Structure 1
Amino acid sequence: MKQRRTMIKLDLITGFLGSGKTTFIKKYAGYLLNRGERICIIENDFGAINVDMVMLKDLEGERCNLEMIVGGDGQEAHRRRLKTKLIAMAMQGYDRIIIEPSGIFDPDEFFDLVYEEPLDRWYEIGNVICIVDPTLDKNISDSSKYILATEAAVSGVILFSKINFCSEEDIKSSEKFLKKTMEDFGCLRENQKFSLIALDWDSLAESDYKHIVKSGYNKVSYTKLPILDSDKFDTVFYFDFEMSEKNLRENIQKIFLDSECGYVHRIKGIVKNEDRSFYEINANRKNITSKTVTAERSILIVIGEHLKKEKLSAYLGDATL
C-alpha cells in the first residue's frame, strides 16, 4: 500500500500595519522549534532591505530558515513569486512554513494559492493567525477597516498585541470595535468561531500555544472591495538613513501630527545614530519603541495613505523611493 506523503503545514500571520506580526513570529517560531519542528519563515516586503528579516535573524539556524519575497509591483507579480518560492521549498524537509505578508494583504490570495497545482500536492493550511493592536487609531479609513476586518475574519485565532500599553477598558473597547468592523463588512456571522487571546505575550502558557497551534482558520464569504488595486496605500523608503534617536523620535511625533504628510500608519527601520551605531525604531500613532541593534546598513520606511514625499522631507530629508 502506498504511504501518503506528510503534508507541509502553511501558517499565515496577518495583521494591519504595525500590529506586531514580527514580534509574535519570534515567539511562535521559538515555541515550534522547541517542539522539534523544522520551519521556514517567508517575509514579504517592498524594499531591497527587509527590516523584519533583520529582527528575525537570531532565529536562523539548522532547523529554521528565513526567506524573502520582494513585492511592490502588483498583486499578480507577488503571487507568482510566492508560488515559485513554495515550489522550490517543497522538497527541503520542512514541517511548517510561516508566511508573514505585508500589512496590506488580501487573505483570499493565500487560500487560492494553496489549492493550486502543484502546491496542493505538498501543502495544507495549518493556521491563520491575526495580530491586532488594541491601541490602533479607531478613526482609520474605511479601506483600512476593510483590510482589518477581512484579515481577522478568516483567522482561527486573533491575538491582541501591546497589552502592557492597554487598560482593561481599552481591551474591551477594542474587541467591540473589531467585532463591529467585521460586522459592517459582512465578515462576522452568527455561527462563526471568534477566538481571541488578550494576554501579555511574555506570559503565554503552554496551553495558550497549544491552542494557537491548533487554531486553524475560518473560510468566510464577504463582499470584496477593490482596495488593493487602488493607489491609496503608499510606502516611502529612505536608504542609508542617519539621524540621532532623539531627533528622529521628535520628528516622528511631528509627522503623525502633520496631516499634510498624508495619513501615516507606521514608521519603522534600522537607523544609523550619530556615533555610527545602529538602532531599530518602530512607531505607530500611539507608541514609539527603539532598541540598539547590530546592522550593516540603515533604512527607514514610512507606510501610510496618500503620503506626500515633499512634506515628509521637511522631517526626514529626501526619500530614496
Structure 2
Amino acid sequence: MIKIDLITGFLGSGKTTFIRKYAKYLEKKGEKICIIENDHSSVNVDLMLLDDIRSKNVNVEMIACSCCSDKSSRLRLYRSKLITIIMLGFNRVIVEPSGIYDIDEFFDCLYEEPFDDWYEIGNAITVIDSNLEDDLSEESNFILASQVSCAGTILLSKVQELKNNKKEAIEKVKNHIKKALKNIRCNKKIDNIIISKPWDSLTDDDLEKIRNSSYEKTSYVKESAIRNNKYKTFFYINLNISKNELINRIHKIFADKRVGNVIRIKGFIQRNNKWVKVNATKKNLKIMESNVGQGIILVIGECMNMKFVNGYFPEAVAIENKN
C-alpha cells in the first residue's frame, strides 16, 4: 500500500519549508515521493517554491480549481489525482492543503473503497508558527485546533526567531493550542508530540521520528467556520512596483483596519528580469530573489474588504477567490 501523509498548518506557518526538508529526507531513505499541493484557488504559489526539489524520485502535483467551492467537487478532483498517482510507482504521497482546510476531506476519501485498499494513512503533521498571534479569531482558532486534533506530530516553526525567553514563548504557544482544543471540546494531549527545536537542528533521528509518528483522530465539536466562508484570497496580477514599494504597502495593509483581518500576503513581482519572492504575516516579512516566479501577489484573510485592499494595488488586475 502507498503511505499518504497529511501536512497541515495555518496560513504562513511554514508547511512548504518543512516539506522541502522532509521530502529530501524521505528520498535519502529510498522512498519515491509525490507531493500534492491541494489548494482551493486556481493559483498555487507554493507549487513553484517546491520546483527545485523535483527529481526522478520526487514529483510535485497540484489540485486546484477556483470554481470548486463545494466539498463534493473538491473530493472528485482529489480522488482523480490519487488514482493517477497509483499508476506512477510512488510509495509515499505528501498532501499539503491550503491553510484554511477541513481535515475531514482528507480522511473521508481514504476511508472509502477502493482507496482504503490502495492507500494507508501514514502521518498527520501539523506545523504551527512559534510566533502564533494571541488574538486569532474564533474561526481561526477552530481551524488551528481541528488540524491539531488528528496530528501525530506538532512541529513548531521559526523557533530560531523567538526573542527574549524562548522557553516562555514556546509554553505560551502550547497553552494557546490547549485552549483552542478545549473550546472545541477536544481532549487531545499534545505535550508529548510537540517538537520545538530550530529546523536547522533537526537530526536524522528527529526526522525518522516524524516519519513514523502516525496520526490520532480525536473527536471534537464541528463548527461551521469553513462553511461560512469568511476566508478569501485576493489576487493581484501584473503588479509592476519596486521591492521597497511592495514592502511599504504590505506594512500599510497589515496596519489598516479597514481592509479586514489580513493573515498572509505572498507571491512574486519581477524587477530587472529577476523574480522577487515575498512571504509576509503580521509578525514576519521575508523577501528575496527567486529563480522561478509568477507575476502575482496573493492577499489572504478573513472578513476582508476588497475595495480597500485594491486601493493598495491600483496598478494591478484584481481577482477575488473564496477559499
The TM-score bracket by the shorter chain reads over 0.9
Residues 1:181 and 2:177 are matched in the alignment:
no
Question: 1:66-85 alignment to 2 at 5 Å?
Answer: 66-72=60-66, 73-74=68-69, 75-85=71-81
Q: Show the counterpart of 2:90.
A: 94
1:294 aligns with 2:291: yes
CA–CA separation in structure 2 for the residues paired with 1:48 and 1:271? 18
Q: What is the Cα deviation at residue 136 of structure 1? A: 2.0
Once the two structures are superposed, the pairs formed by residues 1-321 of structure 1 within 5 Å of their partners are 7-72=1-66, 73-74=68-69, 75-167=71-163, 168=166, 169-189=168-188, 194-273=192-271, 275-295=272-292, 297-317=294-314, 318=316, 319-321=318-320
Q: Is the 8 A contact 2:277 2:293 kept in 1?
A: no
Q: TM-score, normalised by structure 2?
A: 0.93
* In 2, Cα distance between equivalents of 1:284 and 1:171: 19
Cα shift readout 1:255-291 (whole Å, capped 9, x = no counterpart):
0110111100000002122x23211100001010011
Deviation of 1:76 after TM superposition, in Å, equals: 2.1
Deviates more, 1:310-319 or 1:141-150: 310-319
Tell me how far 1:296 sits from its aligned partner. Answer: 5.5
* Paired letter, 1:39: I
Q: Distance in 2 between matches of 1:11 and 1:117?
A: 19
> The residue matched to 1:235 in structure 2 has which SS?
strand
Look up the SS of the partner of 1:320 in the other structure. Answer: strand
| Kept in 2: contact 1:156–1:193 (CA 8 A) | no
Give a deviation string over 1:232-265, Cα, whole Å, max 9, x none.
Answer: 0011111223321111111111101101111000
Percent of aligned positions with the same letter in both sequences? 42
Distance 1:171 1:219 in 2: 24
Structure 1 unaligned segments of length 5 or more: list them.
Answer: 1-6
Q: Is the 8 A contact 1:278 1:295 kept in 2?
A: yes
Call closer, same or farther: CA 1:48–1:105 in 2, change over 3 Å.
closer
Count of aligned positions: 313
Query: Which range moved further: 236-245 or 134-143?
Result: 236-245
Letter in 1 for 2:52: D
**One-letter identity of the residue aligned with 1:298:** G
| Offset from partner CA, 1:186-218 (integer Å, 9 cap, x none) | 12246x784000011111011111110010001
- Looking at structure 1, the residues matched to 170 and 179 of structure 2 have their Cα atoms a distance apart, in angstroms, of 14
Q: Deviations over 1:41-61 (max 9, x none)?
A: 000224443210110001111
Structure 1 residue runs of 4 or more that deviate by more than 3 Å after TM superposition: 46-49
**Conservation of the 8 A alpha-carbon contact between 2:230 and 2:303:** yes
Compute the displacement of 1:295 (Å): 2.9
Distance in 1 between residues matched to 2:208 and 2:293, nearest whole Å: 37
| Matched-pair contact (CA < 8 Å) for 1:238–1:301 | yes
> Post-superposition shift, 1:38?
0.3
Q: Distance in 1 between matches of 2:47 and 2:188?
A: 36
Shift of 1:138: 1.4
Q: Is the 8 A contact 1:44 1:100 kept in 2?
A: yes
Q: Which residue of 2 aligns with 1:4?
A: none
